[in-house]
Structure 1
């Protein structure tokens, strides 16, 4: 087992004690979307394509799985012009045994294989559990010692909905700076693992021949900066609006303090009482209904207070995570990034109900929570990866008011306003020609002109979800290879 350590003196001391006693970029830089560098043959506007590896690439006991088959698939991807691959680096695998003991062997082996094929690696530092959502065919829990700590204080460390149901996907953001029983704070834990990653992967993240060229820092469920407002493990089904996650002990303390600060203590006892349940539609509720509404709903004084607080707390969490990342990776050549979810259902309503429960859209800051997130990324020198790039509005049932194309444009425009690079992923596995052509359109492939035109600004890169046997089938792979060529063609090319 590889053991690496690092972190602040206080963090290391506290966590080392716990292990022994437990039974278990700068702001002035202007970033442009129509970059010349990137994948393909380096032509202007080329959009490099990455491929997400299977969730179980590394086993729960820290072994790289199916090495020969994986190596052959990676070689085939390289021959098709793919720039690299993305992998989840699971907290529950790397630091599974006890605090401050890290097992990087499988991921170092993967980096070696990827580099030998001339590919790049995007590492997602996944501080969440896997297994709660669609297409999660693999289960990776949080580290057992974290679970032990959570069991000692479940009401203070896990997100909770109005009915008292807890989410075990990700530690509550309201506990970021609160010591877990017998352990350091969650932010200290994240920082220490990032420092250990930096030290273990130094030869793979140092220029000029770095293999790891991007580090995505997990900041929530599915690695995305959002609340766990929807999860199939808790009964959610598309297109339910989800539920606000603000009922754990520390969340309620924060809400009460915010309400007292604005002189309305009566607003601080709980979240909206009339926001429905996970599978409600907007007009089934009072808080999230699309029409003009009286006091008590989302566009009332109370609604604006609550939603701004809820969104701001999410952005503050992102700031704490990215601050830790900057401390860990200062001077490292790899690009930092965070992921944001494409919550596209009910987008074409006034309330944007599903975005409200996930925290991605606050009433403050010009009406867009994405502006707050982009401003955060600008301050932190991080880029953004956004989902649903394969989707078209017309593919969805009109009643569900889905707007993936408009949502993507909104997020891209927010990124452009703040000078932040943006990349894209598909939300659902598809390898048909229609999905690939829609992705090319949404990513701005083969569109000549500067960012900010009527079509989506050119993405910095695109990651395809995900590598599997179905993708490797001859017909599917032929479509995929054509897609990679089109994305890599840049301004000099055209869609085949």
Structure 2
């Protein structure tokens, strides 16, 4: 039987199972970093090799994938099967063969799908999403080279697009009894910010404070006092509705827990919290498994979030009508970001561990069993048993290593279910947020999980809920859903603090992930904002943020909608040298002539 006949026969035999396939990966390239000026080329990191054709009739060369840290102990070259993603901010060319040899049809194909065939095809199509080590080509250059070249070509940011600046106010301004702690200190802080010509401030409204003591008993008095002070200075206001806990990890910040009445429920029913494979509970936020379960004093998780949002909208209707509140950010997960709490420091995680899947509470396990049954494989109703622990490296696990189980039939099923649960949670909450805040700009925070980005599996992203391995764009389905709700995504530029050596060991690529996320969102017409904790004396970091906020030579003239700056402490207590540095940074963001680069 010919290959085509065999495929047709197999497809006809199992067509009944096609309906439960996930949508195919979007195919629009997000590779759009600004072109570099002519410069001497240099390469660093793990170098790739080019496969040469043999003989006169050799087929066109395929760009071989490159391996990361999973080298053999003796330092010998990797086998052809070991993969690493090339950097997404680097242009490259790949010649693709459509020969039948690329589609390996084995007798061991899953009886439920032809996923193996689809994935092999998608693996080559996914080269446009590939990211890893530099390719030895004169057309390839690292993102930091492109940025540096652009900086050298232009000494300042005069005439660049205006990017509004919002400064995030510290958490301790409001205490756990929802009281404004020091109004005069707040006024002094706002005076300094006004002198710096910031556009506005961002404030966290904590669920654990406002509804802290009794269900549906909302205490907004401290926030009312704060907003009245902000109104005196004619600054715009962005509000962050924070449905997670804060502090308590030795950070020195005031600890803010989930509401006390929720924690009381959790004593009797610990399955309302995310749970790892060992059964350890994470109280940072509620499990998405209870979004539709009436376990919170007769309300579902979604109803609790909606009631809180509706109470805020009614309490501050006058500020919405005045236009003082310009945007509302909806907290959707750990740290207020759209992610699972997969790398909690309180449970022992340390950078650059892969983290752990957080799907072992009773409710998410029930959801997984339903999905496996619908898929036709009830025995898939389990989490991976070889995914390691919080501080494992990908090569140490059977699931995340090269050619690991993450890309098996079961692995693809589990990871799609895991990421779809994240998408479904965000979709449900944002649907109700649009009802509560009709006409107000909604913001969703996207995390920067950049360690192990240069490996095939992208293990840290997988445990956080983003199915972004080397052969597909794991952010496309998320952004398609966010586009439906017309939200602005706020990308967090900062991540765990690590040295360059630690990042090299972790095969990290923060800039590569940044360009993937930004361009994937811009390709879908989404507004993109940024957030970072910056020390303004670190000029190199500030310049990189500026170059990312408004990339030069972008033919589509993309730039951030706004930038949220999170100072390490109150601006008014950081000394005389800090304010001029921050002023220069703000001027550059505003597109004014500034001597920031030459200072």
TM range (shorter): 0.7 to 0.9
1:310 to 395, 403, 418: 418
| Cα distance in 2 for residues equivalent to 1:259 and 1:129 | 32
For residue 327 of structure 1, the aligned residue among 424, 429, 435 is 435
Query: Which one of the candidate residues 445, 452, 458 is aligned to 1:352?
Result: 458
Corresponding pairs, count = 440
1:194/1:328 contact within 8 Å kept: yes
Query: Match for 1:372 among 477, 487, 504?
Result: 477
| Other structure's SS at 2:240 match | strand
2:288 corresponds in structure 1 to 173
More divergent stretch after superposition (169-178 vs 182-191): 182-191
| Selected match of 2:353 from 225, 234, 240 | 240
Contact residue 392 and residue 405 of structure 1 kept, 8 A: no
Match of 1:13 in 2: none
Q: Does 1:299 align with 2:407?
A: yes
Deviations 1:237-260 (A, max 9, x none): 111111000100011111111111
Instruction: State yes or no: 1:440 paired with 2:546.
Output: yes
RMSD (Å), alpha carbons: 2.6
Alpha carbons of structure 1 residues 181 and 469: separation in structure 2 relative to 1, 3 Å: closer
Residue by residue over 1:126-163, the C-alpha shift from the partner in whole angstroms, topping out at 9 and shown as x without a partner, is 011112558462211111111122222112x1110000
Counterparts in 2 of 1:395 and 1:438: CA distance versus 1, 3 Å: farther
What is the match of residue 480 of structure 1? 582
2:393 paired with 1:278: no
Is contact 1:52-1:467 (8 Å) kept? Answer: no
* Alpha-carbon distance change, 200 to 438 in structure 1, aligned in 2, over 3 angstroms: same
Separation of aligned partners in 1, 2:486 and 2:563: 19
Alpha-carbon separation, structure 2, partners of 1:218 and 1:395: 33
Summarize the Cα distance change of 1:326–1:238 in structure 2 as closer, same or farther, 3 Å threshold: same
Given the superposition, is the C-alpha separation of residues 425 and 335 from structure 1 closer, same or farther in structure 2, using an over 3 Å criterion?
A: same
Q: Please name the residue that 2:182 is paired with.
A: 66
2:178, 2:219 within 8 Å by CA — same for their partners in 1? yes
Q: Which runs of 5+ in 2 are unaligned?
A: 1-157
The CA distance in 2 between the partners of 1:147 and 1:248, in whole Å, is 16
Give 1:53's aligned residue.
169
Following TM superposition, by how much is the alpha carbon of 1:194 offset from its aligned partner in structure 2, in angstroms? 0.6
Q: Which residue of 2 aligns with 1:195?
A: 310
Does 2:369 correspond to 1:261?
no
Matches within 5 A, 1:19-34: none
Partner of 2:36: none
Compute the displacement of 1:104 (Å).
1.1
What TM-score do you get using the length of structure 2 for normalisation?
0.69
Q: Aligned match of 1:230 in 322, 343, 349?
A: 343
Q: CA deviation at 1:450?
A: 3.9
SS at match of 1:97: coil
Match of 1:462 among 563, 575, 589: 563
Specify the SS of the correspondent of 1:480: helix
Q: Does 1:162 align with 2:277?
A: yes
State the partner residue of 1:399. Answer: 505
Secondary structure of the structure 1 residue equivalent to 2:542: helix
Q: TM-score when scaled to structure 1?
A: 0.83
1:204 is aligned to 2:310 = no
Is 1:182 equivalent to 2:288 in the alignment?
Answer: no
CA displacement at 1:337 relative to structure 2: 0.9
1:428 shift after superposition: 6.5
Equivalent in the alignment of 1:381:
486
Q: Look up the match of 1:80.
A: 196
CA offsets 1:166-205 (integer angstroms, 9 cap, x no match): 0001110011011115331111111011111111111112
Contact 1:55–1:88 under 8 Å retained in 2 = yes
Residue 420 in 1 paired to residue 532 in 2?
A: no
1:149 to 1:253, Cα distance in 2 relative to 1, 3 A: same
2:583 is paired with a residue whose SS is: helix
**C-alpha displacement of 1:292:** 2.7
Corresponding position of 2:400: 288
| In 2: Cα distance, 1:94 partner to 1:286 partner | 45
| Matched-pair contact (CA < 8 Å) for 1:307–1:362 | no
- Report the structure number with the largest CA radius of gyration: 2
Rounded Cα–Cα distance in structure 2 between residues aligned with 1:425 and 1:241:
24
Rounded to whole Å, the distance in 2 between the matches of 1:438 and 1:234 is 33
- Aligned-partner Cα distance in 2 for 1:213–1:426: 20
- Name stretches of at least 5 consecutive residues in structure 1 with no aligned partner: 1-41
Greater Cα offset, 110-119 or 355-364: 355-364
Are the aligned partners of 2:536 and 2:585 in contact in 1 as well (CA < 8 Å)?
no
